[in-house]
Structure 1
Amino acid sequence: MNARFLCVFIAGICWALLGSSLSHAADASPIARDIASAGSLRMQAQRIAKLYLQLGLKVGEVAAQRQIDSAIVQVDAELRRLDGYARKPGVQRTFGRCDAAWQELRQVVVRQVSRSNAERATQLAEELSIHAGKLAMQIEAEAETPVGRLLDLSSRQNMLAQRLARLYMQVQAGDQSQGLLVDLEQTRKEFASGLSAIESAAESSPASRDALVLAKNQWVFLDAAVSQLRVRSADGRAARDVASSSERIQEMLAAVTAQYLLDYPVARSAR
């Protein structure tokens, strides 16, 4: 079985699993869905910045633009879902910062790509990821089960994968500063460590472990592509590999998170 066929085969399984999980998403408790929504904000911030850099690099431009448009719609929907936190003491400031960072990022990524716009997009992606991460932690503090922690951790893994790909695109765009290279390597290590933490969690169900296996398999592709960091082939293949593998791992980690959404009420009832 060649690598391309294997990748398509794994992706097909993942889509089936994700579709099955999302079809029952309404079964998840509101607080679990809120944790997942905050996690989605954190991930999409990095993903949108990555896709915007792809436009500048002319890497899968048509697909990248379509994905940006779709992600914008999704982030808007997640913020509407979470807007009750805009009036909740102790959380409203964090929500407000998420919203402010998103509104500016949204404006930047619909403009024509330029060096200054790309730099601002990456800055805002970092800001939104930080604020959304804090929001997820504040919501998680109200959870009644360790599955809330796993929900946050799985969505953080998705953010790290997108951040890794975004940092890679920055290097390919010409920024090879030592700080950026160190940041990229640290993100790789954090992802590997987080994957191990999820895998060893006692609260993971057999279904969530199955979803995680697919994500781990896809991580091999992304990690291999990123390892070719300083390779910029004339046909842009290295960057295209990172772009495609990061999108696939995004889908697969979304399936892991979706499964934890289903596991959350089960874990609560078992307490």
Structure 2
Amino acid sequence: MFQHLLRGMLLLGLLLGALPGQAAISDAEAINRAGQQRMLGQRIAKSYLMIGTQTRSELALAQLDASVASVEENSQLLGDYASSAAIRGAADEAGLTWQQLREQALAAPDKSRSLEMLKLAERFLAQSETLALRIEQHNGSQPAHLVNRSGRLRMLSQRIAMLYLALSWNLPDAELRSKFDTAVEEFDQGLDELHAAKQNTEQINDRLEHISNQWRFARVGFKLTEDGRYVPTVIVTTAESLLQKLEALTADYAQLAQAAR
């Protein structure tokens, strides 16, 4: 029943994504969409683990549905946008991995197959990272770099929650802890870089302050893992709130990048 429900959700997402009349997207929006792909792959894996660990399963199902539909829509828009051979090649490569990731996501969560899911999400992340970088290089402006950097924090909010769930489920991967620690460190560094950006407006600085406050709260929950105690519901809820704030922040940077063209 689970797989049947998800296939129905996917069909709806595909139909919505295939609607005609979508306008071509700008360079700034293309960077934003490619950055979303990075995040969505990690979000799909996180939702998969939420269902498997029975952590807010109903919410996870809704997130999985929305994420699959969003990846499909973004893939279509980015495919239409691709303005160079390098961008087209990166988009095609990510698209091939997405087909495998989607198939895995549509299956009922199984602990024995969870590492396969994480590997596919990792590959899709790396390929979407390359795509975002190619588009940023094509744009060539500092605001475009800030869109990419902010979008990467958006991805890290979901990656950290995903890895936290994997640790709490005791998945057999000796590198999970180091990957988790690296993701937390990268979030710290990315946030510091955005705070220091000279292009920041008052609104952006205000958003960054709210994000920093919530990030400090999340870090308290991370420390509990050192004692083998986990609070997955708290962490996934905090990650969701961070994601919403980072979406708004990335949109602000996208507006700056568009204005700089």
Q: Fold conserved (TM > 0.5)?
A: yes
Contact 2:115/2:171 (8 A) holds in 1: no
Q: Which residue of 1 aligns with 2:11?
A: none
Q: Which residue of 2 aligns with 1:155?
A: 151
Instruction: Mark the CA change 1:113 to 1:34 in structure 2 (over 3 Å): closer, same or farther.
Output: same
- SS of 2:55's equivalent in the other structure is coil
Aligned pair partner of 1:240 in 233, 237, 246:
233
Contact 1:42/1:128 (8 A) holds in 2: yes
User: In 1, Cα distance between the equivalents of 2:86 and 2:175?
Assistant: 34
Q: Which residue of 1 aligns with 2:253?
A: 260
User: In 2, Cα distance between the equivalents of 1:208 and 1:193?
Assistant: 17
Give a deviation string over 1:133-180, Cα, whole Å, max 9, x none. 100010001214200000000011111121111111111111375422
How well do the aligned residues superpose, as a CA RMSD in angstroms?
2.0
Q: Which residue of 2 aligns with 1:79?
A: 75
User: In 1, Cα distance between the equivalents of 2:73 and 2:234?
Assistant: 30
Task: Trace 1:177-256 onto structure 2 (pairs within 5 A).
Answer: 177-230=173-226, 238-256=231-249
- SS of 1:59's equivalent in the other structure is coil
In the alignment, does 2:116 pair up with 1:115? no
Contact 1:165/1:226 (8 A) holds in 2: no
User: In 1, Cα distance between the equivalents of 2:174 and 2:121?
Assistant: 20
Question: Which has the larger displacement, 116-125 or 128-137?
Answer: 116-125
Per the TM alignment, residue 106 of structure 1 is displaced from its structure 2 partner at its CA by 1.1
Q: Which residue of 2 aligns with 1:94?
A: 90
Question: Which has the larger displacement, 51-60 or 85-94?
Answer: 85-94
Contact 2:49/2:114 (8 A) holds in 1: yes
Amino acid at match of 1:68: L
User: In 2, Cα distance between the equivalents of 1:200 and 1:49?
Assistant: 32
Instruction: Mark the CA change 1:86 to 1:259 in structure 2 (over 3 Å): closer, same or farther.
Output: closer
Give ranges in structure 2 of 5+ residues lacking alignment. Answer: 1-24
Per the TM alignment, residue 200 of structure 1 is displaced from its structure 2 partner at its CA by 0.2
Structure 1 residue runs of 4+, over 4 Å off? 230-233
Contact 1:150/1:198 (8 A) holds in 2: yes
Instruction: Mark the CA change 1:121 to 1:176 in structure 2 (over 3 Å): closer, same or farther.
Output: closer
User: In 2, Cα distance between the equivalents of 1:39 and 1:191?
Assistant: 15
Contact 1:232/1:239 (8 A) holds in 2: no
**TM-score, normalised to structure 1's length?**
0.82
In the alignment, does 2:30 pair up with 1:31? no
User: In 2, Cα distance between the equivalents of 1:64 and 1:232?
Assistant: 24
User: In 2, Cα distance between the equivalents of 1:46 and 1:116?
Assistant: 19
- SS of 1:91's equivalent in the other structure is helix
**TM-score, normalised to structure 2's length?**
0.85
Give ranges in structure 1 of 5+ residues lacking alignment. Answer: 1-28
Contact 1:86/1:96 (8 A) holds in 2: no
